[in-house]
Amino acid sequence: MSFRGLNVSEIQEIIDWEQVKSAGYQFAMLLAGHGLGILDQKFLQNASECNRIGLPIGAYWLCRAINPETARQEADGCISAVSSCRLEYPVCYNINQMTISYAAQHGVTVTPSLATQFVQNFCDRIEELGYYPMFCCSRNFLDTYFPPGFSKRYTFWYSCHSSTFDNTDCSMWQYTDQGNVPGISGNVDLDVGFLDFPVMIRSAGFNRLDGSLPPPAGTQNYITYVVQPEDTLIRIAQRYGTTYEALASLNDIPDPDIIYAGQTIRIPETGTSFFRIS
């Protein structure tokens, strides 16, 4: 059993999703964003259109973590971005060479142990929040950074651009970035799914597809806030009735005087999540 799919982002700009569905595509993986709360500018529009015409979708988030806690925070940001949409496919963490380069720019060397923690923290948090997790990487990245059998722990989306499948154990395969799809201008990443995710996810009770799954107990005791250019940790703490020491401890911030615009932090309070679109 296999299913024809594709994955897109704001790069594809305006998409005629009815043409895509009429061309025989059975699912789409949509980029929701990257890093600490940076949303893809076309995600909500693409998701809304796919939901409207009944084309099953999942979402993926680009890893820009620099420590295990930021990977968990990325998961929070991802779910806040996608929670208003109907997802019948997994929520995926895309980890690749850009992850390594981004971390290096921030003085962090990503070791196999650290890369494994990134994926574990993101995927475990996605599951805690009631969604079905997945991770995506290339064959070389899988072999270089993850222990044997790691792709069996979490559902694996395999990125390998080739005309023939090499029988890697995976649930989804991205086989080209040169696809030509009616309704989309330019090249498109194309995929094959090997599982009936809508049936599997619904039967397992993930993704709130029955509309009744409550938030997991004990996981919604904070809000997610994206630091603005003028913010300091003290000002944020004062605004939300807490202390900068509590925020530093909760968010694993070694120096409370050093935070940066775009950083996502958790605040011990129930409230609304805020995100920056960039």
Lowest mean pLDDT among 4-8, 193-197, 220-224: 220-224
CB 82 within 8 A of CB 91: yes
Kindly report the CATH number assigned to the domain that includes residue 273: 3.10.350.10
264 and 165 housed in the same domain: no
| Band (200; pLDDT cuts 50, 70, 90) | very high
Tokens of 146: 């993850």
* Domain of 239, in residue numbers: 223-277
- Range of lowest pLDDT (61-70, 136-145, 232-241, 260-269): 260-269
Q: Does the pLDDT at position 250 exceed 60?
A: yes
In a domain, 91, yes or no: yes
H or E element that contains 247: helix 244-250
Q: Which token pair is 247?
A: 């925020």
Question: Are 180 and 243 found together in one domain?
Answer: no
**Are 118 and 238 within one domain?**
no
pLDDT at 231 over 50: yes
Q: Which residue has the higher pLDDT, 70 or 220?
A: 70
Specify the residue for token string 């722990």: 153
pLDDT at 270 exceeding the cut of 60: no
Please name which of 168, 164, 171, 229 lies closest in space to residue 196, comparing C-alpha atoms.
171
- In sequence order, the 6+-apart residues with CB closer than 8 A to the CB of 254 are 248
Asked whether residue 62 is domain-assigned, the answer is: yes
228 and 199 housed in the same domain: no
Q: How confident is the model at residue 223 (pLDDT cuts 50, 70, 90)?
A: low
CB atoms within 10 A of CB 56: 21
- 219: pLDDT strictly greater than 60: no
Q: Are 240 and 108 in a shared domain?
A: no
Q: Which tokens go with 165?
A: 């499948």
The separation between CA 80 and the C-alpha centre of its own chain, rounded to angstroms, equals 11
- Residue 155 shares a structural domain with residue 245: no
pLDDT at 214 over 80: no
Q: Is the residue at 180 inside a domain? A: yes
Bridge partner residues of 57 (DSSP)? 28
Per DSSP, helices labelled H in 54-138 are 68-82, 97-105, 112-128
How many distinct structural domains can be found in the chain?
2
Q: How confident is the model at residue 243 (pLDDT cuts 50, 70, 90)?
A: confident
Does 119 fall in a domain?
yes
pLDDT at 215 over 70: no
H or E segment to which residue 186 belongs: none
On average, the pLDDT of the chain sits at 89
User: Is residue 214 in some structural domain?
Assistant: no
